[in-house]
Amino acid sequence: MSTQRSPAHSSTFEYRLAQEANSLRAQAKGMPLGVRRTELLRKAKQIDVAGEMNKWLTSPGLQPPS
């Protein structure tokens, strides 16, 4: 029988995003310069931006960009 995760996550979305970004950076750190390393670092940056967007979207004082 497979076990499924309950809908209540043990960590926040922002925390999981940060963990994934850190994991990608750690992978890239051990690689030589090249396309794959660049892709990993770009993905980590995209995840950082997603976390910032999430903070903005979930903030109580949401203001439109100016």
Q: Per residue of the chain (66 residues), what is the pLDDT tens digit?
A: 455 555 555 689 999 999 999 999 999 998 999 999 999 999 999 999 999 998 888 888 866 666
Cα distance between residue 32 and residue 63, in whole Å: 42
- Give me Rg for the CA atoms of the chain: 16
What is the sign, positive or negative, of the torsion defined by CA atoms of 5, 11, 17, 21? negative
Answer yes or no: are the C-beta atoms of 40 and 24 closer than 8 Å: yes
Question: Shortest CA distance to 29 belongs to which of 16, 14, 44?
Answer: 44
pLDDT of residue 58: 86
